[in-house]
Structure 1
Amino acid sequence: MNFFLLLLFMIVIGAVIGAVTNSIAIRMLFHPYRPLYIGKWQLPFTPGLIPKRRGELAEQLGKMVAEYLLTPESIERKLSHPDFQKDIVSLLQQEAKPFLASDKTLSEVLEKVNVHGAEQKAEQWVEQWIDKKYRSMKDFYIDQTVGESLPVEWIDKIEGKIPEVSDYIIHKGVDYFSSLEGRQRIKKMTDDFLSEWGKLGSMLQMILGNTTLEDKIQPEILKFLNSPGTKELMDTLLKNEWGKILNWKWSYVLTQFSDEKALEKGKALVLRQLNLHALFGRSVSDLIQPFEERIIDEVIPTLVQKGGHFVATRIPLMMEKLHIADIVREQVETFSLELLEEMVLEISRRELKMITFLGGLLGGVIGLLQGVIVGLFT
């Protein structure tokens, strides 16, 4: 009977020693948080393992995450995975629908994203763009002739229009001098002519009698205008003048008028045609409605596919610039020791308890063996 009590006692003592020893060893992983001293002598095993090695732990965790967990290859695979892209497309489509149906004006939307004075900035950009393009063209063409700068097709087309222009001028001339206004113009011109000649003019008027001088001149002017020779003369004059214009250099052309004023008028014309005030005053839904279905069904999936590929091919560079290992190390170093302990226990609490129980079990087995050996030799 005494042997069995001894055996039970030794089993219990061994189990308690094993369990307590493992429990203390586990606790020493975290505690104490700071070194303990007796006088100037630091107690061994203080602070605990994790507090003492927190810097190394943080560095190793950073390397593990960067080299084995959050690698460029794993992120690239995730971004390229069809299921991930499908989820992103679905998310963007859901987020886009309320935006596309928004009653807010374009100016209000831009104001929300801190783009202030968008209309004025757009006008300034258009004016600057026109200025830049004009200066560039002016510098390029300034030493060229009109004929050198115009396309051959334009020149041929203009020259082909000369006979039509000639016909138009003559036709308008005939219409004018056949009208009452034209007749009055001839009368004024003849009156001015006769008044300059004094008595000779009066004598000429007496010779004509009741017939006025404009009655004689008007038919002759119309006859001259309707003459085939006049048409040929007009064609020749216009061709000659056109030839002279083609030989003008743009530097000379620009001296004949204020190109700056023309530029300002051109910018004003473009801005009136663009009507940016009306554009920025329209609602987002009004602007996008004609394209809403296409944006949802085509544009967003295409952007996700191409955007995912674009990002995936640049993941290594992005990861290099992000320095993931340093981010993890710095973050872990900021954790309190209490938080680190809680994190580790949260993950491995059950396993640590099993280690304590295993220590007790092994201690009990060792106590049993010791009791058996003692019993055999007593």
Structure 2
Amino acid sequence: MSGSLLVLFMVIIGAVIGGITNAIAILMLFRPYRSLYIGKWHIPFTPGLIPKRRKEIAFQLGKMVSDHLVTPQSIQKKFQDPQFLQDMTSLVQQEAKRLFTSEKTIKEWMELAGVQDLEKRLERYLKKKMEKTIVEMGNSYSSQTIKDVLSPETIRKLEEKLPDVSAYILQHAMNYFSSSDGKQRVKKMLDDFLAERGMMGSMLQMLLGNSSIVDKILPEMMKFLRNPGTNEILLSIIRAEFEKMLEWKWERILSEWLDKNTVEKGTEFIVHQFNTETFFQKTLSDLLNSYEEEILKQYIPRLVEKAAPFFSNRIQTIIEKLRIADIVREEVESFSLERIEKMVIEIANKELKAITYLGALLGGVIGLLQGFVTLLVP
């Protein structure tokens, strides 16, 4: 064989050996997936490197991600990025618009959240809360007077309304006695009065007649009611009673006016006025339609702006609670070996081929050197 053919042959042999060697080395990273035996003898280098070190690789990947990739500092930096805040604002606005245009009722939204019998539960809650509040107020203020509980400003305002109360009573009294019902009531009262006086009343009734007495008394009553002095007398009486009421203790009011039955009926009436069933049949759009523009353009950007530093300051705790390293480790451990092999090859396919070609190149260079050495050394 000529020298040139010998050198070429050795270059080819070296390249083939180098390429195959590196290809086998790469393959041994993944294959075989389990230990192989001949009889009881364990075949070396089985399983492959990645199957053998799978748990260690998963642990190190999790540690690398948590220590160097997804760190509190990197996430805090993201929360301070204006573009990120703008993107989050747009996202929240889009979700809010979706809620505003939804035909789902409040009841349906709550049922999606797992809350059932919302109307009855809310009614029971409101009744218990109101009853409890009234009882607690009674226990807190029972030994105090109304004057002790009310502020001086409130008492002053109530006193300023007393003349209005007096005028209201007199005006309604005049309206009543001017009506046919009022006249009939006065006539009946006169009949009862004269009947109680026996013969004297009968004689007086015969002399004057019922209609004559009523016609004479009513104008005088109206004059009395219109007289400023009457208003002053009534106002003084009301003021005196008001002063007495200020000295009442709350226990008196609670015992006389607010027994258990009254409290239950009062709270039931208030809850019924709230009309929970109708309320929960409304959509979010029904409730917030007039505020939609304000919510989208003012409150949501402000909410995102306030929420960003809130979460940013708590990222360290959140990441610790998430245990990102454990998440990555568990996910990697759950991957099948075929999937891991496919992922690595997809990521480093070019590099792995380059390593194979490099092995062939180095093998060829070594074969070339060996050919020259063979020719030079007899």
Q: CA deviation at 1:144?
A: 0.6
Deviation at 1:206, TM superposition (A): 5.3
Residue 323 of structure 1: CA displacement?
0.9
Q: Equivalents in 1 of 2:352, 2:132: separation in Å?
A: 74
AA in 1 matched with 2:77: R
Is the alpha carbon distance of 1:158 and 1:361 closer, same or farther for their aligned partners in structure 2, counting shifts above 3 Å?
Answer: closer
Determine the C-alpha separation between the residues in 1 that align with 2:163 and 2:313. 64
Match of 2:326 in 1: 326
Aligned to 1:285: 285
- Structure 1 letter corresponding to 2:35: P
**Contact 2:138 2:251 (8 Å CA) reproduced:** no
Q: Which residue of 2 aligns with 1:21?
A: 21
Contact persistence 1:205–1:212 (CA under 8 A): no
Correspondence 1:210 to 2:211: no
Once residues 329 and 359 of structure 1 are traced to their aligned partners in structure 2, the CA distance between those partners, rounded to angstroms, is 33
Pick aligned residue for 2:187 from 184, 187, 208: 184
Output the CA distance in 2 between the equivalents of 1:29 and 1:207. 130
Letter in 2 for 1:184: K
Q: Does 1:102 align with 2:102?
A: yes
Instruction: State the number of aligned residues.
Output: 372
Which amino acid letter does the alignment assign opposite residue 279 of structure 1?
F
| 1:322 Cα deviation from its structure 2 partner | 1.1
How far apart in 2 are the matches of 1:147 and 1:294? Answer: 44
CA distance in 2, matches of 1:204, 1:12: 150
Percentage of matched positions with identical amino acids: 45
The answer for the alignment partner of 1:4 in structure 2 is: 4
Paired with 1:107 and 1:369, the residues of 2 have a C-alpha distance of 85
Give structure 1 stretches of 5+ with no counterpart.
196-201
RMSD: 3.2
Calculate the TM-score normalised by the size of structure 2.
0.85
Aligned residue identity for 1:119: E
Query: TM-score of the superposition, structure 1-length normalised?
Result: 0.85
Cα 1:120/1:168, change in 2 over 3 Å? closer
Deviation of 1:375 after TM superposition, in Å, equals: 1.3
Q: How does 1:99-248 map to 2 (within 5 A)?
A: 99-163=99-163, 165-166=165-166, 169=169, 180-181=183-184, 183-195=186-198, 202=199, 210-211=207-208, 215=213, 218=217, 222=221, 234-248=234-248
AA in 1 matched with 2:363: G
Structure 1 Cα separation of the partners of residues 91 and 117 of structure 2:
31
Are the equivalent residues in 2 in contact too, given 1:144–1:249 (CA < 8 A)? yes
- Cα 1:266–1:41 shift into 2, 3 Å: same
Q: Give the Cα separation in 1 of the matches to 2:91 and 2:201.
A: 98
Q: Distance in 2 between the 1:29 and 1:290 partners?
A: 65
Tell me, in whole angstroms, the C-alpha distance in 2 between the residues paired with 1:39 and 1:361.
39
Q: Aligned partners of 2:353, 2:201: CA distance in 1, in Å?
A: 139
Match of 1:251, as an amino acid? E
**Post-superposition shift, 1:114?**
3.2
Change (3 A) 1:41 1:168: closer
- Displacement after TM superposition at 1:232 (Å): 5.8
What is the match of residue 56 of structure 2? 56
Q: Deviations over 1:198-219 (max 9, x none)?
A: xxxx367658982479949948
Shift of 1:62: 0.8
- 1:245 to partner: Cα distance: 1.9
Verify the 8 A CA contact 2:19 2:363 in the aligned structure 1: yes
Distance 2:132 2:167 in 1: 41
CA displacement at 1:360 relative to structure 2: 1.2
- What code does the residue aligned with 2:339 have? L
